[in-house]
Amino acid sequence: MMSDDGIRSTYRSYNEWFSEQDNRRLAKKSAQAEALFKRTGITFNVYGQSDAEERLIPFDLVPRIVSNSEWSKLARGIDQRVRAINAFLHDIYNRQEILRAGVLPVKLIAQNDAFLPQMMDFSPPGGVYTHIVGTDIVRTGEDEFYVLEDNARTPSGVSYMLENRETMLQMFPELFSKIRVQNVGNYPKNLRRSLEASAPASCNGRPTVAILTPGIYNSAYYEHSFLADQMGVELVEGHDLRIVDGHVAMRTTQGYRTIDVLYRRVDDEYLDPLTFNPNSTLGVPGIMDVYRAGNITIANAPGTGVADDKAVYSYIPDIIEFYTGEKAILKNVETYRCSEPDALKYTLSNLSELVVKEVHGSGGYGMLVGPAASKRELADFADKLKAQPENYIAQPTLSLSTVPIFTKKGLAPRHVDLRPFALVSPDGVDITPGGLTRVALKAGSLVVNSSQGGGTKDTWVLED
Amino acid sequence: MLGKTAGGLYWMFRFLERAENTARLLEAGFRIALTRSTDAEAEWKSVIITLAAQQGFEAKYDTYDSTHVINYLLRDADNPSSILSVVNAARDNARLVRTALTSEVWMSVNETWMQLSDILKHQVREVDLPDVLAAIRQQTALVRGALNGTMLRTDVYRFCQVGIHIERIDNTARIIDVKYYSLLPATSIVGGRLDNVQWETLLRSVSAHRSFRWAVDEGFTGPAIANFLILDTRLPRSLIFCSKEIVSNLAFIEQAYGERAICHDQADKLLQRFSNREISTIFEEGLHEFIGSVLGDTANLGYQIEKDYRFNI
């Protein structure tokens, strides 16, 4: 809601504080924050760069502020979505009612690379498939939100949610006494509790949880070590693990110790060389057998990718209705599946106004932002589309809302998205009030991915 | 604790200790090069031999001139033991074991890496060498300070200490090994300038030039210096001091785990080489042979620790 002076009511208190600040002091704080991130080693590695250079994600010191009522709606919408997605996954890997009912075309599943036949006729411990979900959301207007992606595999970015808040608390403690912001700091504790609650039924005593990382050269390694540290659990790699007496066990200084819940940050394909990619050294040979025997929880379950594929995405409103009997609370962006001839035709003739994405792509790679593309880029992309239409979906460019960022010349508007994090366990769904706000630092740009020069900012959900 | 974590901690501190030791050797060598230029080449060569870098160095260079040696030891990426290489390795290990470190220790290692990779990005001019070496020693001291000041005294801390002292005993033993001839009683009768230079660099290489004068009543003689470097329990880089540290830190792990492993016997055996020993009996045994067995025992002990605590398999 805007008032006469053009300031959203949620930003009113912040703006009062901001107008009393000296720009030079803030610029200094901004540099300090960067130095702190560097010293702490909050960096990511960029794929495809030979020098394996570690980079910082730029941090903007103006928080993105969401009112409690907007948040409540968002949270209800996310809750509904993740429940439906879990029901969908269980159905797809068991009775496949939704296919029999004709709500979803069979080939969408049958020809889906993320669908794992090894998961058929199996129910993971507690019936939970997606223990951690990071739903990408954009706001286009007052109380108007669209879901961009469901990220049901291994969403990353939660460490930035936590570190950004920590940094704000350190830099501007006075703001938090002036403005009441909901706490995000319990996330690691809640994550551990949620993972423990998802332990196999056969597990006695307090479950042993571990995080499986591909190693220190992975782009999200910082996050893996951060979460292990914050939860107080071991951070393991494939070569630390082996199967001992039908359980997955980690090599400790005192011998092998059983793991009950493995929060893996390794993709399905690399999880078990005996079942999937035989050349993988990142996984654990035989873990799928242990899993199917019910002796370990893998979070998220293998094969969840079938629910967050961009073609399946376009059916999520139907999926929600099928399993919950409710209308979707959060909207989907209108999506043209280029595998359908009419949609392809429409996409090709409106290319300069659309965003076209690879069905299996992520991280902002391989996508076309029509309005920002040159004639040449449009023509090239049209060729790619015609060659393999089933690889692409197209969406209208939304008039994304902007929020202010701090620049040397004062505040300036930039486009943002929001990734809140939901934890799912047999005990229920827990959504941390806040999330990762990614911001396109270039004026006018709609691409917020860190791999494409985006930044982050703290996200505040106000108390009532 | 994961076996990998124990290994990461152990190696992280071995590498940091190595960086510091190399800086010390460079400092001692540089001093000779400045003050007695005729001895410089020979001195640089013995530094390179001490660091077991002769093969790699000679593959690249024909002569032991200061510029080459300094560059090779400070920042050559082809030299796995260059200060830049070992600081990189230490920081990689620190990232690996980050969950086991306090944030102070992690940040000090990360800062060390940031600062030294910056300082060593370009060739270091000789006029800047003292400052660079001082920065290296200061940074590694910072990490050690954070380790001592902030870490819980659990097995985590003990593996760090074991790594430090295995590296240190190896380093001191190597330094003695290369110059053992200058410490022999017979040589000191000959006396002369050469011996004094050797003694001085020997002591400087372990930062003990001043402390020798403070701690030892007798004047500079080969046997007195040998005694100081090998058997003096007050010198933190002497062989006996390091082996005592190894034994006591391993004993802590033994107690915490309630299990004695082979490495404990090996560490005890190493310490026995120095306990209740007179330097004269070491000379009788043969200093060179003695140091040779110490180096062998230390290497075996290192392997055994890796095996007993499952660093790799």
The string of DSSP letters for chain B reads -BHHHHHHHHHHHHHHHHHHHHHHHHHHHHHHHHH-GGGHHHHHHHHHHHTT-HHHHHHH-SS--HHHHHHHHHH-TT-TTSHHHHHHHHHHHHHHTGGGS-HHHHHHHHHHHHHHHHHTSSPPPGGGHHHHHHHHHHHHHHHHHHHHHH--SSHHHHHHHHHHHHHHHHHHHHHHHHHHHHHSHHHHHH--HHHHHHHHHHHHHTT-HHHHHHH--S-S-HHHHHHHHHH-TTSTTSHHHHHHHHHHHHHHHHHHHT---HHHHHHHHHHHTTTT--HHHHHHH-HHHHHHHHHHHHHHHHHHHHHHTTS--
Position B93, amino acid: N
Low-confidence winner among A251-255, B169-173, B211-215 (lowest mean pLDDT)? B211-215
Cα B290–chain centre separation:
18
For B3, which of A41, A225, A253 is closest by C-beta distance? Answer: A253
- The answer, for A228 touching chain B at a CB cutoff of 8 Å, is yes
A237 touches chain B (CB under 8 A): yes
List chain B residues with CB under 8 Å of A252: 1-3, 310
Confidence of residue B180 (pLDDT cuts 50, 70, 90): confident
Report the amino acid identity of residue A181: V
* Contacts (Cβ under 8 Å, ≥6 apart) of B159: B6, B9, B10, B249, B253, B309
A445 CA: distance to closest CA in chain B (Å): 33
Higher pLDDT, A357 or B242: B242
* Nearest-by-CA chain A residue for B311: A253
Beta carbons of B2 and A40 less than 8 Å apart: no
For chain B, give every domain's residue range.
14-151, 153-313
pLDDT number for residue A42: 84
Range with top average pLDDT, B181-190, B211-220, B285-294:
B285-294
Instruction: With beta carbons less than 8 A apart as the criterion, state whether A416 and A136 touch.
Output: no
Of A38, A229, A252, nearest to B98 by CB-CB distance is A229
Per-residue pLDDT of chain A (464 residues; tens, 9 = 90+): 555 567 788 899 999 999 999 989 999 999 999 888 888 888 776 655 444 567 888 999 999 999 999 999 999 999 999 999 999 999 999 999 999 999 999 988 988 889 999 999 999 999 999 999 999 999 988 878 999 999 999 999 999 999 999 999 999 999 999 999 999 999 999 999 999 999 999 998 999 999 999 999 898 999 999 999 999 999 999 999 999 999 999 999 999 999 999 999 999 999 999 999 988 889 999 999 999 999 999 999 999 999 988 889 999 999 999 999 999 999 999 999 898 899 999 999 999 999 898 887 665 667 888 888 899 999 999 999 999 998 899 999 887 888 999 988 888 999 999 999 999 999 999 999 999 999 998 888 877 877 777 899 999 999 98
**Maximum average pLDDT range among A248-252, A446-450, B43-47, B200-204:** A248-252
* Distance from C-alpha of A267 to C-alpha of A110, rounded to nearest angstrom: 20
Residues 177-216 of A with CB under 8 A from B: 216
- Taking contacts as CB-CB distances below 8 angstroms, the residues of chain A near B114 are 38-39
The complex scores an ipTM of 0.86
Contact across the interface for A228 and B4, Cβ inside 8 Å: no
Answer whether B99 sits within 8 Å of A237, measured CB to CB: no
Do B205 and B25 touch, CB atoms closer than 8 A?
yes
Residues from B in contact with A at Cβ < 8 Å: 1-6, 92, 95-96, 98-99, 103, 106-107, 110-111, 114, 155, 253, 257, 259, 309-310, 313
Q: Which residues of A touch B110 (CB under 8 A)?
A: 39-41
The pLDDT of residue B218 is 76
What residue in A sits closest to B307 (Cα-Cα)?
A: A253
Domain architecture of chain A: domains with CATH: 9-333+398-461 (no CATH), 334-397 (3.30.1490.270)
Higher-confidence position of B222 and A302: A302
Q: Flag whether residue A255 sits within 8 Å of chain B, measured between CB atoms.
A: yes
Which of A40, A225, A234 lies nearest to residue B2, judging by beta carbons? A234
Nearest by CB: B3 against A40, A235, A252: A252
CA dist A13 and A414 (Å) reads: 20
Q: What is the pLDDT of residue A50?
A: 44
Distance from CA of B53 to the nearest CA of A (A): 26
Which residue in chain B is spatially nearest to A214 when comparing CA positions?
Answer: B96
Across the interface, whether the CB atoms of B257 and A253 are under 8 A apart is answered yes
Of B2, B95, B259, the CB nearest to A221: B95
